[in-house]
Structure formats: structure tokens, C-alpha cells
């Protein structure tokens, strides 16, 4: 299978190119004035490597573009580039492709598809209750139960957002660049802010995991992903796995699940037609 998986987040776009089910590249395109140019170049580079469908009546590439998005303006940008540059439609999870995991939340379509594809990817590996924490622009800590149902989670500010709020809503605190603090007790203002944000995040993750464990009656597997995941790794011994780009893997799983279920439905329709003809 040839597939370009695009994970549109709040502060970056990740593009992964799979050729014959093998990952050829995965790139992170950060927000900025050159985002459109970089996205156009990355998609074109991948598309140029894809062969044409054999024996097709008209020239058509043997691949699809599948996206998960939490930022509508970038979704429109992606779709416009795909149409103008590649002559192709983007399949959007939640619109063109069903959500890849069953949920028990009030409104599944209100849950960011990044959370749902990550949860689906985590459960596909663990096949048991699992906590999926994503440390990105926001921090989401979600629970999937032992039957594979996404039951919900928590949302809180990420490191950069929290640092900016401290700067914007105080008279004297500086905007800091987030690193692991040298000590829990910061010896200066910058280190004090780092320590507060860092240990707040570590404590939040451990507390929420404990609360989920109380609901389940046992400690679940814990998987952490996102751009800031590695920053907290050394103080999170209770975490089982730190996995980069989990959402991209979930996009691939969502598309494969869609193809499998579509084939099953078509097979059932053929059987019904055969019985009707008999």
C-alpha cells in the first residue's frame, strides 16, 4: 500500500510517506511563513515517487492521501495544495474515513481526531487497557479500556502555552524556553518556572494514571507521545513506552481498518445479491 499520512496539529504538520507499506520518510513542518512552501515541496516529493496504476483507463497514481486534523485552516491549505499540485483529494478522518476506535464519550466528533488515532494505534499494540498521553501544544491524557473503547481523558496546557500565560499575566515573570530543570528548587526565576511547569506535568500524568487505575482496578499500560515527551522521560518510571509520532501510525491504522471494513461490506452485498438472484 502506498500512502501519504498527514497529521495536522496546532503548531506543526507531520507528513509520513509509505511506499509498499514501508516508511520512506517522516517530516515535521513547523508553523511559519514557509509552511505552505514546505508542505507543497514535501507532498510533491512523495507523489513523484509513486507509480501509476497499471492498466488504468487514465493516468492515475497508485496512492492516497489521508489526514487527521485539529486545525481547519491548515486542512483547507492541505486540500488546496493536493488539488492544485497533485490533482488529488485528501481523505479526512472523521469526514471521509470513519473514526478508528469505538468511544463512550458524549460526542465523538468533538474529540480531536489526533487523540482518537493515537488511542487506536496504542490499543492495536497493547490489546488491553492503555493510557495515551500526548505532550504537545496541549497535554492530553486519555484512557482506552480493556475492550478497546475510548472512554475520554483530560486536556491541559502544554509547556509553551503555560510559559506564555505566566509571561502574559504577570508583571515581572519572563518568557522562558522550556528545558528540564536543574533542580526541583529553582535557584533563580527562570529555573523556578521550569521546575514548576516540569513537575506539574510529571505529577499530573502520574495522578491521572493513578485515577484511571482506580477505575480499572489495576494499573494500565502507559504510552507517552508528543514533541515534549522525551523531556519528562527520566522522571516517569511508571510509563511503559515513549513513542514518537503515534498519531501518524494511527492514521495508517485508521485507513487500513476502513479498507478492511469496506471490503467486508462489499462481500456481504455480493452474497445478498447472489441469494436474491437465486
| Catalytically annotated residues | 114
C-alpha to C-alpha distance for 209 and 140, rounded to whole angstroms: 12
Grid cell of 152 as nine digits: 475520554
Q: Are 172 and 166 in contact (CB under 8 A)?
A: no
Strand segments (E) across 31-166: 64-69, 90-92, 102-103, 130-135, 138-144, 149-157
CA-closest candidate to residue 192, choices 206, 207, 203, 182 = 182
The sign of the dihedral angle between the CA atoms of 38, 41, 44, 49 is: negative
Q: What is the DSSP letter of 220?
A: P
Q: Are 239 and 224 in contact (CB under 8 A)?
A: yes
C-alpha to C-alpha distance for 206 and 177, rounded to whole angstroms: 24
C-alpha to C-alpha distance for 238 and 241, rounded to whole angstroms: 9
C-alpha to C-alpha distance for 197 and 205, rounded to whole angstroms: 12
Strand segments (E) across 70-220: 90-92, 102-103, 130-135, 138-144, 149-157
Amino acid at each position: 500500500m502506498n500512502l501519504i499520512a498527514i497529521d495536522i496539529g496546532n503548531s506543526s504538520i507531520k507528513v509520513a510517506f509509505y511506499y509498499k507499506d514501508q516508511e520512506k520518510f517522516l517530516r515535521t513542518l513547523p508553523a511559519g511563513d514557509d509552511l505552505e512552501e514546505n508542505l507543497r515541496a514535501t507532498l510533491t516529493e512523495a507523489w513523484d515517487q509513486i507509480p501509476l496504476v497499471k492498466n488504468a483507463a487514465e493516468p492515475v497514481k497508485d496512492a492516497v492521501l489521508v489526514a487527521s486534523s485539529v486545525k481547519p485552516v491548515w486542512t483547507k491549505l492541505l486540500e488546496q495544495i493536493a488539488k492544485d499540485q497533485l490533482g488529488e483529494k485528501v481523505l479526512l478522518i472523521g469526514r471521509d474515513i470513519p473514526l478508528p476506535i469505538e468511544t463512550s464519550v458524549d460526542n465523538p466528533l468533538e474529540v480531536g481526531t489526533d487523540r482518537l488515532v493515537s488511542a487506536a494505534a496504542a490499543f492495536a499494540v497493547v490489546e488491553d487497557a492503555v493510557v495515551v498521553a500526548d505532550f504537545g501544544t496541549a497535554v492530553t491524557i486519555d484512557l482506552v479500556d480493556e475492550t478497546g473503547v475510548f472512554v475520554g481523558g483530560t486536556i491541559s496546557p502544554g509547556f509553551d502555552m503555560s510559559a506564555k500565560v505566566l509571561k502574559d499575566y504577570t508583571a515581572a515573570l519572563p518568557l522562558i524556553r522550556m528545558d528540564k530543570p536543574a533542580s526541583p528548587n529553582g535557584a533563580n526565576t527562570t529555573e523556578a518556572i521550569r521546575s514548576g511547569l516540569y513537575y506539574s506535568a510529571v505529577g499530573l500524568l502520574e495522578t491521572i494514571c493513578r485515577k484511571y487505575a482506580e477505575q480499572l482496578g489495576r494499573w494500565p499500560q502507559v504510552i507517552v507521545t508528543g514533541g515534549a515527551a522525551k523531556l519528562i522521560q527520566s522522571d516517569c518510571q511508571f510509563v511503559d513506552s515513549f513513542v514518537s509520532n503515534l498519531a501518524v501510525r494511527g492514521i495508517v491504522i485508521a485507513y487500513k481498518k476502513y479498507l478492511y471494513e469496506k471490503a467486508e461490506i462489499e462481500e456481504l452485498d455480493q452474497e445478498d445479491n447472489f441469494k436474491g438472484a437465486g
